[in-house]
Amino acid sequence: MSVYTCSFCQFTYDEWHGDSKNGIPKQTQFSVLSGSLCSRCGMQGERHQRQRVTSYKGEEAKTYDMFAGKAGISFYMEWLHSSKDPVTVLELGSGTGRMTVPFLQKGIHVQPVDVSNEMNEIAKKKLERLDLPITIIEEDILSLHLEDTYSHILLADGFLQHFLMIEEQKKLLAFVYSHIKQGGQIALDIIVPPNTKWKTVKKKRMTNKKTVMKTIEGEVTLSKQLMVCATTITSVVDGYIDTTYHVEREYSLLTPREVVYLLEIVGFDIINMTENYKAQPWETVVPASLQKQKPDLPIDQTLVEQDQDSNLHPYVENVWSTGHYIYQEEEKSEWTTITIFAKKKEER
């Protein structure tokens, strides 16, 4: 879904919400509105511009670190430290410097890039306080070109999903390909929602009197492959609501397989895929040649007949004890982060 604004009369139309005043149902596409709704622009012509997703600002920027925490930092630190060659990192969507700062503190060279001025200002204050002399590039990634190439490029926290059109996604990944060294690696996060509709609430007590709550409500439209989220950040002081901040966002709903295909088209080989920053490979989407081979138990032998030095796993009784005939499990409410690792293909 998209929001369109007329550059002449400023009439704005939101595909997700439709237009209740004029009887336009929700999820009605802009393309079918020609000649209707506005007597000045007729909802037609080249003057209508599709609006990009709003950059993070206000309370959303100020409280980002509070709720994102340290997720993924040590995971990516290990990824970078595993390189045998000198490491230079291009971090796209660096935001508040949540990952940039600890990387720099460990001596890893990082070039942060983010379009949000308010997120960048928070990151700059961190860098100044720690005397880390790094310049943040504040520019739209789709219009950016850098002279340098990097050994590693990081697109964390669902950065790719901020780009809703397939043309934008391909352009972003083409930028990544052109700015990575031969044989260099990328890490890319995909955020998968818990259900087709969800509501999550997180709280952080700031002081004895102040609590900040972040509520995210959303739903998925499968036909458009979009996630629509409404985020409300509320500060409560002494039991009374002090401030409320509300923003609505759309994200591209991507599956791991789709991203794998996109990466391969651009020119990357898939290395591995993990879930929630744990070493849990998704072997179904990783080429067989790159999968770790498991030892085979010969067809005419039992496990107890194997040598003690064998790398087969010993049998452990009653490991799985939660399942039963009518298996019930508490509904999953947390989002899932899938991280895809890829390497630039060798030029032939």
pLDDT of 89-98, one tens digit each?
999 999 999 9
At 11, the amino acid letter reads F
In the chain, what percentage of residues exceed pLDDT 90?
Answer: 48
For residues 343 and 193, the answer to whether their CB atoms sit within 8 Å is no
Q: What is the pLDDT of residue 98?
A: 94
In the chain, what percentage of residues exceed pLDDT 70?
Answer: 86
CA 41 to chain CA centroid, nearest Å: 36
d(CA 334, CA 194): 6
Q: What is the pLDDT of residue 136?
A: 96
3-state secondary structure of 325: coil
Q: What is the pLDDT of residue 190?
A: 94
Which pLDDT tens digit goes with each residue over 280-336?
Answer: 555 555 555 555 555 567 777 777 666 655 667 777 766 555 444 443 444 445 788
DSSP string computed for 211-274: EEEEEEEEEEETTTTEEEEEEEEEEEETTEEEEEEEEEEEEE---HHHHHHHHHHHTEEEEEEE
Report the pLDDT averaged over residues 25-33: 77
Which pLDDT tens digit goes with each residue over 123-148?
Answer: 999 999 999 989 999 999 999 999 99
d(CA 157, CA 339): 9
* Nearby residues of 169 by Cβ (< 8 Å), 6 or more positions away: 160, 163, 252, 262
- For the chain, domain boundaries: 1-51, 54-293+331-348
Task: Classify domain 1-51 by CATH architecture.
Answer: Single Sheet (2.20)
What's the mean per-residue pLDDT of the chain?
84
Q: What is the pLDDT of residue 71?
A: 85
d(CA 70, CA 72): 6
d(CA 222, CA 308): 51
Which pLDDT tens digit goes with each residue over 246-289?
Answer: 998 889 999 999 999 999 999 999 999 998 887 655 555 555 55
Domains 1-51 and 54-293+331-348 share a fold: no
Bigger pLDDT: 9 or 202? 202
Q: What is the pLDDT of residue 302?
A: 76
Bigger pLDDT: 85 or 303? 85
Q: What is the pLDDT of residue 122?
A: 96
The pTM of this model reads 0.77
At 58, the amino acid letter reads G
Return the CATH fold of 54-293+331-348: Rossmann fold (3.40.50)
